[in-house]
Amino acid sequence: MRPLLAGLLILLAAASATAQPRTVEVRVPRTFGYFLGDLVEAIVEVETEPGFTIQAASLPQPGPVTYWLDLRRVETETAGTRHRLHLTYQTFYAAIDARTLEVPGFPLVLTSADTHGATTAPIQVPAWNLGVSPIREVQPARRADPAEYLRPDGQGPRLDPAPPRTAALALAALALPALLLLARDRAWWPFRPRPARAFAEAARRLRSLARQPDSEAGYREGLLALHRGLDAKAGSRLLADDLDAFLGRHPAYRPQADNLARFFAASRLAFFGNAVAEARCRMPLAEAEATARQLAVAERAA
Amino acid sequence: MNDIRRGDAMLTDWRAAARRFEAALAGAVLGQEAVIRLVTIAVFARGHVLLEGDVGVGKTTLLRAVARAMGGAYERVEGTVDMMPTDLVYHTYLGEDGRPRIEPGPVLAASEDLAIFFFNEINRARPQVHALLLRLMAERSLTAFNREYRFPLLQVFADRNRVEREETFELPAAARDRFLMEIGMEAPRDAATRRALAFDPRFHDTDRLVAGIETGILDPAALAGIAAAIQHGVRASEAIETYVVALWEALVRPHAAGIRLPGIDDMAGLVQGGASPRGVAALVRAARVRAWLEERDWLVPEDIRAVFAPVMAHRVFLEPIHEMGRAEIVPALCRALFETVPAP
């Protein structure tokens, strides 16, 4: 009979404890060494049964707590059954010696809202102690030179300059040719903008066309290649009637005047006269290629 | 085969006549070979011509010379601010018996044989008169005295003073588009020519100068036929067709063709329109005549280039902000076109 009674008592005790918080704890970074005006960060941790939260109305209001202590800020944070209050106090106690003061505790109300109604449980946050100190002049040993109050710098480790220096030199050695390449590409000093080798390009195209099997399309393409070369050299589209003016502006190509005149006549026939056969008879592709090659040679010399 | 050869022979004969025509004009109007060539092209393309130029460079003399050298019925009016369309069509006066009379005016006087209608100072006439010209030029017909008059041989020559803007009326776009060519005329630069023009008494009396020109070189009645023969006789290859279409596209959208003109930031909005299909058709017509005059029966890009500016420049309409500067912008645009668009 007696063990049964004891078990019943334990059960009752457990049932009554369900509404009770498991723990209430006040944590402060340090409880001593505060001066007038310091902010004191205190954390109140409340571990509750599942479903319980802190009633917002029961939280302490920011404002004066005692004549020497203000509560500045209250923040709550909840993670599962752990509730955390961040309290920021500020002390205005002008201590004349180091002493311990008591920060008063305060009550909180835990609530659990379910379908049957709200269950509330009051808990008490305990008072805790705060050590305050007077603001006093520090009195180190007297020194003649005020600079000597400064403590010497700590010794840093000695670094080896050799590897970074080697790397810097190697990279500089790499950067120089890269800069040269860039300068050449952008035609910076000492490189000058190179005149485009228009005829060299045309001659190359004609040479590759001459290797291909003979066809009307290939012939027209060859003429076009030389036309594009002449256009590029003249800076505008060169028509047959402009040939004299072009040779006047670029006397280097004058030895090719006859060939160019023949080329333009053939090109006219091929493109506009619908007489490709006659054009090929007057100016075969091989001769056009030879002309382009001569022009390219003159271009390099010019 | 026989037919073609006869046509060829006819074309050759007419080419000789065209040469004589040009030579006759060049004898009277010094140092204007380029303008004379363009006028000849317009005559054989059956197109109307608007001459534009400074005062006293010989616009009127040239057109009178053209009228005389061509032969055929010729009428001339002077544009004035108070001119009304009816002044062109009807001649109203009080007869000897004091009763009002209405008789055919300048346009109708020569009836349907009218070959050349010469409108002097066209920009002095009001827009109402320009509107009358629209139909006369485009359809070569006119309604008067309750019936329709047709002028199959008609060619309109007009001239316009470029400098003066007081009391003048700008030609509407539609009227300008109906001129085949707008030819700018400058005083000759050549020193010898200038000296001759200033000191040779032959050039001081315009009436005698024009009267000295051989007349009736071209038969207006046969011109329509020969113009059609030229248009059929001169071939255009596929390459030239591509070229003309590329030029047209580049003229309408110079920005897309990669053309940049100095001083113009918004190339994309520069050309507002106006390069019409009628204009491009006129371009090809004039180019064919030029090829024929150069003794070719196929078109080359040079033919297009030679007539492009006179035929197309006045048909291009620019953004209003650039319209005042069109005298510089449009020629620069035409030049840039031929420098950019590849020919073959």
Domain-wise residue ranges, chain B: 30-209, 234-340
- The predicted pLDDT at position B2 comes to 38
Residue B32 to residue B17: CA distance in whole angstroms: 19
A122-126, A182-186, A297-301, B144-148 — most confident range: A122-126
Nearest to B79 by CA among B59, B103, B101, B94: B59
Q: Which of A238, A272, A274, A278 should be substituted to probe chain B, the one whose Cβ sees the most B Cβ atoms within 10 Å? A: A272
Q: For residue A271, give the nearest of B339, B340, B344 by CB distance.
A: B344
CATH class for domain B30-209? alpha beta
- The predicted pLDDT at position B319 comes to 81
- Report CB contact under 8 Å: A237, B302: no
How far is B210 from chain A, CA to nearest CA, in Å?
34
Residue B228 to residue B222: CA distance in whole angstroms: 10
CA atoms within a 13 Å half-sphere pointing along the CA-CB vector of A231 = 16
> Region B46-70: what's the mean pLDDT?
83
Q: Is the pLDDT of residue A15 over 50?
A: no
- Report CB contact under 8 Å: B340, A224: no
- Report CB contact under 8 Å: A272, B237: yes
Q: Token pair for residue B223?
A: 């011109």
Q: Is the pLDDT of residue A283 over 90?
A: no
- The predicted pLDDT at position A4 comes to 55
Q: For residue B344, give the nearest of A235, A267, A274 by CB distance.
A: A267
Q: Token pair for residue A110?
A: 């835990």
Q: Is the pLDDT of residue B280 over 60?
A: yes
- Which residues, including other chains, have CB under 8 Å from residue A150's CB and lie 6 or more apart? none
CA B267 to chain centre: 29
Q: How confident is the model at residue A2 (pLDDT cuts 50, 70, 90)?
A: low
> Do A299 and A198 touch, CB atoms closer than 8 A?
yes
Strand B271-273 vs strand B317-318: parallel, antiparallel, or unpaired? Answer: antiparallel
- Homologous superfamily assigned to B234-340: Magnesium chelatase subunit I, C-Terminal domain (1.10.8.80)
- Is this prediction's pTM over 0.80? no
- The predicted pLDDT at position A180 comes to 92
- The predicted pLDDT at position B334 comes to 83
> Do B175 and B274 touch, CB atoms closer than 8 A?
no
Residue A176 to residue A168: CA distance in whole angstroms: 12
CA B304 to chain centre: 16
- Report CB contact under 8 Å: A241, B299: no
Q: Please, what is the angle between helix B326-340 and helix B238-252, to 10°?
A: 140
> Region B10-26: what's the mean pLDDT?
84
Chain B residues whose CB is inside 8 A of the A268 CB are 300
- The predicted pLDDT at position B161 comes to 79
Q: How confident is the model at residue A12 (pLDDT cuts 50, 70, 90)?
A: very low
SS3 B141: strand
CB contact B47 to A (< 8 Å): no
Calculate the average pLDDT of chain B: 82
Distances (CA, A) of B154 to A268, B22, B94: 36, 20, 30
Q: Is the pLDDT of residue B324 over 80?
A: no
Higher-confidence position of B203 and A42? A42
Q: How confident is the model at residue A7 (pLDDT cuts 50, 70, 90)?
A: low
Higher-confidence position of A182 and A235? A182
Those of residues 253-272 in A touching chain B at CB distance below 8 A are 267-268, 271-272
Chain B residues whose CB is inside 8 A of the A226 CB are none
Q: Is the pLDDT of residue B1 over 50?
A: no
> Do A112 and A118 touch, CB atoms closer than 8 A?
yes
A34-43, A113-122, A138-147, A185-194 — most confident range: A34-43
List of long-range contacts for B169-174, beta carbons under 8 Å, 24+ apart? B169/B123, B169/B124, B169/B125, B169/B126, B169/B127, B169/B130, B170/B123, B171/B50, B171/B122, B171/B123, B171/B130, B172/B127, B172/B130, B172/B131, B173/B274, B173/B317, B174/B134
Chain A residues whose CB is inside 8 A of the B302 CB are 239-241
A186-195, B71-80, B103-112, B285-294 — most confident range: B285-294
Residue B308 to residue A25: CA distance in whole angstroms: 98
Q: Token pair for residue B180?
A: 């085949």
CB contact A239 to B (< 8 Å): yes
CB contact A216 to B (< 8 Å): no
Percent of chain B at pLDDT > 90 equals: 0
> Region B244-252: what's the mean pLDDT?
85
H/E stretch holding B3 reads helix B2-28
- Report CB contact under 8 Å: A273, B298: yes
Higher-confidence position of B207 and A98? A98
Distances (CA, A) of B184 to A261, B38, B52, B160, B331: 32, 10, 5, 10, 11
DSSP state of B29: S
Q: Determine the residue type at B273.
A: G
DSSP state of A244: H
Nearest to B267 by CA among B252, B249, B279, B277: B252
CA B326 to chain centre: 19
Residue A223 to residue A200: CA distance in whole angstroms: 14
Percent of chain A at pLDDT > 70 equals: 91
Q: For residue A272, give the nearest of B240, B338, B341 by CB distance.
A: B240
Strand A82-91 vs strand A69-79: parallel, antiparallel, or unpaired? Answer: antiparallel
Residue entry with tokens 């063709």: B257
- The predicted pLDDT at position A61 comes to 93
